[in-house]
Amino acid sequence: MHHGFESRRLVLEKNELLDFVRQMKTRDHVILFYSKPEDKREVLFTYLKTGLDGGEAAAYVAAQETPDQIRDGMRSFGVNVDELEKTGALHIIDCEDWYFKGGAFSISRVMELWVNLYHRVVARGFKGLRVTGEMAGFFEKKMVKELVEYERSLHRVLEFPMTAICAYDINVVAKEGRGELYVDLIKAHSTALFSGPEAGVVKTPSSTVATSILVGTPTSG
């Protein structure tokens, strides 16, 4: 049974939101809500590029956009996609080949994929692994219950040493028409981010349902 959040609102600039994802640490499990693809790209590409520039590997599981669209977007963002994929630093994956391989979803199988990828990149000399996944595929396949179970199984603090942002189109989530879904998703993560006109951060302490909501507006230009 879920209770309501206690919250407080503080103003953030957009660059502070981007600074937050740059500074994410190993085992952080964060949820991102976005309303426009360009907002999603700016946050996720900033997050992944920071890791890549610092000697970490990165993985992007694409759903709303194709892997090739993500590759093109990353190139425009200044990421040397071809070289990074060649060296094994960057992995851009179709969600059908990751979450729904064989047409089915299995939490244990996906967990094993993440753990195996982490061990592979560390064995190749990378300092760590930053990952992100677009979660829209679960909504398209009517697997929202399975999605919430998956997010809870990852825990607010990841049990294995990678860093993760789970990306949600707020328009897709809203179509479910259940306010408690937002609560379930946010409580499964250590922090929630909102990008776009109301950029902000929601902290979810593990010891309480009380939540700090930091909401701001993007900088101009």
Q: How far is CA 212 from CA 28, 139, 154, 204, in A?
A: 17, 27, 22, 7
* Closest to 184 (Cα-Cα) out of 212, 156, 159, 142: 156
Structure tokens given for 115: 């753990």
Does residue 71 lie within any of the structural domains? yes
CB atoms within 10 A of CB 137: 21
Provide the residue-wise pLDDT of the chain in tens; the chain has 221 residues.
344 444 444 456 778 889 999 999 999 999 999 999 999 999 999 999 999 999 999 999 999 999 999 999 999 999 999 999 999 999 999 999 999 998 899 999 999 999 999 999 999 999 999 999 999 999 999 999 999 999 999 887 788 899 999 999 999 999 987 778 988 999 899 888 888 765 566 655 443 333 333 333 333 33
| Residue 102, in any domain of the structure | yes
Q: Say if 66 falls within a structural domain.
A: yes
Q: Residue 175 and residue 169: Cα distance in Å, rounded?
A: 10
* Number of domains present in the structure of the chain: 1
Q: Residue 168 is encoded by which pair of tokens?
A: 């949600």
Q: How far, in Å, CA of 71 to CA of 41, rounded?
A: 11
User: What's the CATH number where 35 sits?
Assistant: 3.40.50.300
- Look up residue 177 and give its two tokens: 């028409």
d(CA 193, CA 42): 13
4 domain-assigned: no
Measuring CA to CA, how many Å separate 215 from each of 13, 34, 84, 185, 218? Answer: 9, 13, 35, 18, 10
* pTM beyond cutoff 0.85: yes
Residue numbers of the domain that contains 104:
16-199
**Per-residue pLDDT at 204:** 54
Determine, yes or no, domain membership for 211.
no
Domain membership of residue 53 (yes or no) is yes
65 domain-assigned: yes
Contact 159, 26 (CB under 8 A): no
Q: Is residue 215 part of a domain?
A: no
Q: Whole-angstrom Cα distance, residue 110 to residue 98?
A: 7
pLDDT of residue 208: 36
Question: Which pLDDT value is given to residue 199?
Answer: 58
Alpha helices in 77-188 (DSSP H): 81-87, 107-123, 136-140, 144-154, 170-174, 179-187
pLDDT computed for residue 156 by the predictor: 74
**β-strand partners of 208:** none
Cα 51 from Cα 42, distance rounded (Å): 14
